[in-house]
Amino acid sequence: MASVPQIVELADQLSACADQLHERIMRDIRAWDGGIVPAHVQACARALLEDELLLRQRANGLYADAATFVVKSLGKSQAGVVALTTAAAEKIRKIALIGDVTGLVAGLLSLAGAASTGQAAAIILALDKIHTHIKDIETHRKPATPGTKSLSR
């Protein structure tokens, strides 16, 4: 994230994550086929819709202020940052359990907020959080091998 186009690219990726989050939330709501959606599902959907809005606001802020938020001391490749946020968008789209989405979205919000500060340490911490959540989600999806307990819920 050492140039304006790279900051814009991150904002594009965060917007794509917000798009995937919105699609995921709506798919989960439509799954009730017009029936009564339980209160806990509604609460989770509302919270995630608020996170989606916040993610979009932060992405829009990055677009608006891209020229002032060039982070030269990050030490992470732009390709790595884009690959991680692309993987996050894909996980949001495919995650079986909505609960797994919340931690990943929190990591994306941390990245969006950190990127707007231009502080390399905060960005690296947020990237690590996203990476950890993606690994956790992949672990949840792996089938159990004979003689071990499954981590999937």
Work out the average pLDDT over 121-143.
82
| Position 84 in a domain | yes
Question: What pLDDT, on a 0 to 100 scale, did the predictor assign at position 102?
Answer: 83
| Position 60 in a domain | yes
Residues 6 or more apart from 87 whose CB is under 8 A from it? Answer: 134
Which residue type, as a one-letter code, is found at position 16?
Answer: A
| Position 105 in a domain | yes
| Position 13 in a domain | yes
| Position 24 in a domain | yes
Give the residue among 76, 56, 69, 94 at the shortest CA–CA distance from 131: 76
Question: What pLDDT, on a 0 to 100 scale, did the predictor assign at position 104?
Answer: 85
d(CA 46, CA 32): 16
Residue 7 or residue 153, greater confidence: 7
| Position 73 in a domain | yes
**Which range, 70-74, 75-79, 100-104, 137-141, has the best average confidence (pLDDT)?**
100-104
Number of domains present in the structure of the chain: 1
| Position 72 in a domain | yes
Res 114 pLDDT > 80: yes
| Position 149 in a domain | no
The domain of 116 spans: 4-141
Taking a C-beta distance cutoff of 8 angstroms, is the pair 89, 122 a contact?
no
Tokens 């439509």 correspond to 30
pLDDT tens track for 41-87 = 999 999 999 999 999 999 998 887 775 666 655 666 777 788 888 88
Q: Which of 19-23, 65-69, 145-149 has the lowest mean pLDDT?
A: 145-149
